[in-house]
Amino acid sequence: MAGTRLLMRRLRELLRLKHEHGLSHRAIAQACGVGLGTVSGYLERATRAGLTWPLPADLDDAALEARLFVRPETPPTAQRPTPDVVRMRTELARQGVTLQLLWLEYRAVHPGGYSYSQYCDHYRQFARRLRPSMRQVHRAGEKLFVDFAGKRPHLVDRHTGERVLVELFVGSVGASGLIYAEATRTQDLAAWVGAHIRLLEACGGSPALWIPDNLKSAVTLAHPYEPEVNRTYADLARHYGAVVIPARVRHPRDKPRVEVSVQIAERWIVAVLRDRVFFDLADLNAAIGEEVARLNDRPMRALGVSRRVQFDALDRPALRPLPLTRFEVGEWVRCRVNIDYHVALDHHTYSVPYTLVHAEVEARMTATTVEIFFQQGRVASHLRAMGRGQAVTCAAHMPSTHRAYATWTPARLIAWAEKSGPATARLVVGILERRPHPELAYRSVLGLLRLGQQHGESRLEAGCARAERLGAYSYRTVANILRHALDRLPLDDEGAPDPSCGVHHNLRGAAYYAQKDSPC
């Protein structure tokens, strides 16, 4: 009002200086402290309005303003259709739709309708009546907001009657606001991943962006610019064709949809079920599912339609299809390769290529498999061992010498010795029997058989026969016999021992190894 009075006083002064003193427009502009164009514009308005100086005595400021600033006639509101703001909000959630496009479509149907600015004002007035979280324009199928609720449901221990608090996982799809909720025992990684899988299966697809809070199951390192997403959680998102974008710490407006959804879940799920008794998680989740269905089917006050209708119209057609296989939860562990080219995981050891000894690797353990990665590449894959203390070794990971050693068995060594002759085979059996464990005799047996390559198979057979006659079952004895050419001397048969004297119930013999161990 004060501004209007000042403007009218300035107009009267302009008219006085022009008509009473005959000043030029430039002089009037300097005298009144306004622009030359302003002076010309106001005097032109006065001329069109038929005003001269002096002004009529009964012409007050309101009347003067009305004569100078005549507003153009506009059609009555009743003749201009009001924009459908609910439909506008629904259309804006679709890909590529803007207010300008909607206004052009509106004017194509109603040529005498509102101007673009008034059309936008109608929508903004409607948007201001909505909750702050709904002011954002969420594209169809674009975002999924997830979090755990602060207020938690509870179970009752059927033996002690004690209340056991559980967690409430809440998810909300951006454009429609469809709510998903379920109870989990904890907020650990397995519960977090499992709840996501069931949420996506309930929706029948996956949004492109996942917006979680900064709990440890989702974010390993919270950072305003470069947060580090949990490796397993990132694998889950990648499996379903999505990307994880954590909300900033202490910025709830980054995830307003789920903030509101959590409040709704606390009021219409936790509060509604507060007096009901549940002994196990399955019964509690069945009840939660019923309440969630009611929430999604209830018309929203601001829009007049339900979240389910909005979801079927907007989000469902835009969701990415689910993969053919369900995601298998895997735990990532950093570890170092031991000198025996094995890594220790969950009380078992698993082999990797021997060239990675002392290297730092990453292992991904699922319920059935163990995968080991080095510099982003997979270098080993094993079936997960059960029980405790097992060693899982792949022959391809071993050096050639170790690989050959791993294929040695008593039966194979005896069969190899038999190629030289029966005496050699009996001596090998004797060497194997006289060690606490057969594997301790492998090197002696291999050294013995190598003597056949140096001196010939016939001399080895003769040397083994003489060593057997002496009762000396060792590599060193045969080597000495061959080195001193004692194998060429005739054997004294009169002093030959009775074969029956070598039979004893503690001696296993060649037949035992032939039955127990088969050649590889």
- How does pLDDT run along the chain (520 residues), one tens digit per residue? 556 666 777 777 777 777 777 778 887 887 777 788 888 887 888 787 777 777 777 777 777 777 777 655 555 555 678 888 888 877 787 766 788 888 888 888 888 888 888 888 888 888 777 654 444 556 788 889 999 988 899 999 988 889 999 999 999 998 888 999 999 999 998 899 999 999 999 999 999 889 888 888 888 887 777 788 888 898 899 999 998 888 776 565 555 666 788 888 888 888 888 889 999 999 999 999 999 999 999 998 777 889 999 899 888 998 999 999 988 888 888 999 988 788 999 889 899 998 898 899 999 988 889 999 998 789 999 999 888 888 888 888 888 766 666 666 788 888 888 888 999 999 999 988 887 666 667 778 888 888 988 899 999 999 999 999 888 998 999 999 999 988 888 876 544 444 444 555 555 655 555 555 544 3
The pLDDT assigned to 19 comes to 78
The pLDDT assigned to 340 comes to 79
Q: How far apart are CA 264 and CA 301, in angstroms?
A: 14
Cα pseudo-dihedral 19, 24, 27, 33, rounded to 10: 60
Contact 443, 462 (CB under 8 A): no
| CA contacts within 13 A on the Cβ side of 60 | 1
Contact 478, 427 (CB under 8 A): yes
The pLDDT assigned to 206 comes to 93
> By three-state DSSP, how is residue 362 classified?
strand
Q: Minimal CA–CA distance to 326: which of 213, 206, 243?
A: 206
Q: Which residue has the tokens 């039955």?
A: 515
Cα pseudo-dihedral 310, 314, 320, 325, rounded to 10: 30
Contact 214, 148 (CB under 8 A): no
Tell me the whole-structure pTM to 2 decimals.
0.53
Distance in Å from the first CA to the final CA of the chain: 104
Q: Which residue has the tokens 């996956």?
A: 206
The per-residue DSSP string of 78-100 comes to GGSPPP-HHHHHHHHTSTT--HH
Q: How far apart are CA 410 and CA 446, in angstroms?
A: 11
Q: Minimal CA–CA distance to 177: which of 317, 314, 289?
A: 314
| Buried b / exposed e along 64-88 (16+ C-beta atoms within 10 A) | beeebeeeeeeeeeeeeeebebeeb
